Amino acid sequence: MKRPLKRAGSRKGTAKKQRRGRPFAPGASGNPRGRPPAKYSLTSLMREIGRDLQRKRIDGMNIEASKAELLVRKLWSHALRGDFRAAKLIVERLEGLPTAHVELEDLTVRIAPAPRPKENGGDETQ
């Protein structure tokens, strides 16, 4: 004779029965303090590294600037030399993405009636 399996942590009379799919009482949570904050995000890491100062020789002058500023200077340099992608990126950042413009002159909407069912039950041999 086999014994019935016991569930871990359950004892007769001590465990309160919960509804299926609702393991916690209303207003209570299994994680009351919430999700812990992330140690860092990619955006914050990029900003932090972008603020680091770096010395660079540009146009015969030694310049100390943030990496972000040097990146923007390089982007402008490429755009001024004719790089279309760099110029497009600068314009999109300064002016925003172009909006789509749609003109409708003659808009006619025709709603056709639903097809009628055949009276003879669909038999076309008559």
Return the top range by mean pLDDT from 15-19, 45-49, 58-62, 109-113.
45-49
Name the pLDDT band for 49 (thresholds 50, 70, 90).
very high
Q: How many whole angstroms separate alpha carbon 15 and alpha carbon 42?
A: 45
Domain positions in the chain: 42-95
Tell me what pLDDT residue 99 has: 77
Those residues whose C-beta lies under 8 Å from the C-beta of residue 103, and which sit 6 or more positions away, are none
What are 31's two structure tokens? Answer: 């994680």
